Each structure stands twice: as structure tokens, then as C-alpha cells.
Structure 1
Amino acid sequence: MANVEECRSAIDRVSDRINRLDEAQRRAHIVERTVSLTVSDLRTVFTMRLTPQGLVDAAEHPLGSGDGRAQVRITVASDDLVALADDRMDFAKALLTGRIKVKASLGDMARLRKLL
């Protein structure tokens, strides 16, 4: 099981990956959204905003105190989050097998698929 700092580092790596994309591609596929990332085995929620500049304003909260009104809500185990950030796990496969759960509008899901 990964710890909270390893999860925070994984979020930073995903943000860096977003920033390495061509600016035109980021602007085409990223619409600013609020995001909550529940790390189920750590009982921790990270709240942040997805922007063309990456994931910004990340904050950590105990489970139950995070923002349940986020436009994109993701639930994942800590080890799976780290594996996704390190490209050791395929996002689509993880989604289809239930290792990651995403609650978002269909439009947001389509944009996330193109981005990841």
C-alpha cells in the first residue's frame, strides 16, 4: 500500500504529464473542472482543479470531509494510483475492470479518455 506522500507525488506526475502535452492539445481537450480523488485504502480525498496548466490547488482531506460536489469524482486504491501515474497500468483497462471508478458527465469522460 502506497502512503499519502506517494499519492501526492503521483498526482504531481500526472500534472507534469498534462503539462508536457502540446498547448493546443491541452486547450482542445481540457475544460476546467473540479476533481476529487478518493484514495480508498488510505481513507483520504484529494481535491483539486483540472486546468490547461495541469492539476492545481491540490488539497488533502480525510474521507468524508472532501468535496462531494466535484464535477469529476475518481476512486482508486493507492497502489493503483501510483501505477497509473507511472504508466504501469492502463487507464481504460483499470476503468473496465473496476480498479478505478470515475463519476463524471459523458462529455468529461470523453475528454478524459482523449487526454489520458
Structure 2
Amino acid sequence: MATITECRGALERLSDNLLRADGEVRDAVALDRTLSCHITDLDVTFMGRLADGRIELHDTVPGRPGTKAQIRLSMAGDDLVAMVEGQLNFARAWAAGRVRLEAGIRDLMRLRKLL
């Protein structure tokens, strides 16, 4: 099972990857939205913001946060690490129910480019 430190590191690597992206991926993440990533097996949530094409992590809270972020992810820590390392395809994990993504319809339409 991935640790909180490994999950934070994976989110930071994902942020770096998004910052270096171009084309449709860069357009898809060119949002300014609050973001949360709930790690189900650790019952911890990373809170931050998707801004300027990168993820800025601000806080880590136990359980689910009291306020909803505009973009909400939920998955096991091992799945997060595997996705960032390229060992797990996001679209397949989402279709299998291993990853949940919740956002407004307009944000979902933009983020679908990442699939």
C-alpha cells in the first residue's frame, strides 16, 4: 500500500508532467479550479488548486474535506502511483470504477481530452 508521502510525490510528479505538456493536454488543464484527491485506502485527502497548468497542493486532511473542490478525484494510493508512473491507464481505471472523477459538466468536457 502506498504511503501518504508516496502519494504526495506522485501528485507532485503529475503536476510536473502537466506543466511540461503541450497541445490538447495543455489546453485541458488550462483551468483555475480547486482540486481534491481522496486516497481511499489511507482515508486522506490532498487539497489544492489546478492553476496555470499545474497542481498546487495546499493541505492534507484526514478523511473527506468539509468543502467540495470543483474537481474531485478519488482512488487508492497504489492506483495513483501506478497512473503517474504510466503503469495504469486513467481511462481504463475510471471505466473499471477504480478511479472517480467528479466535476462540473464544462470541466468534465475539457478534462476528457486527457483520456
Q: TM-score, normalised on structure 1?
A: 0.88
Q: How many residues in Structure 1 have an aligned counterpart in Structure 2?
A: 114
Residues 31 and 53 in structure 2, CA contact (< 8 A), matched pair in contact too: no
CA RMSD of aligned residues (A): 1.8
Q: Tell me what 2:6 maps to.
A: 6
Q: Tell me what 1:75 maps to.
A: 74
Alpha-carbon deviations, 1:82-106, whole Å to 9, x = none? 0011111111111110000111122
Does the C-alpha gap of structure 1 residues 24 and 81 become closer, same or farther in structure 2, counting only changes over 3 Å? closer
AA in 2 matched with 1:92:
A
Q: Percent identity?
A: 38
Runs of 4+ in 1 over 6 A off after TM superposition: none
Q: Tell me what 1:48 maps to.
A: 48
Q: Which runs of 5+ in 1 are unaligned?
A: none
The SS at the match of 2:68 is coil
Shift in Å at residue 25 of structure 1? 6.0
Shift in Å at residue 21 of structure 1? 1.4
Residue 57 (structure 2) pairs with residue 57 (structure 1): yes
Residue 70 (structure 2) pairs with residue 33 (structure 1): no
Q: Which runs of 5+ in 2 are unaligned?
A: none
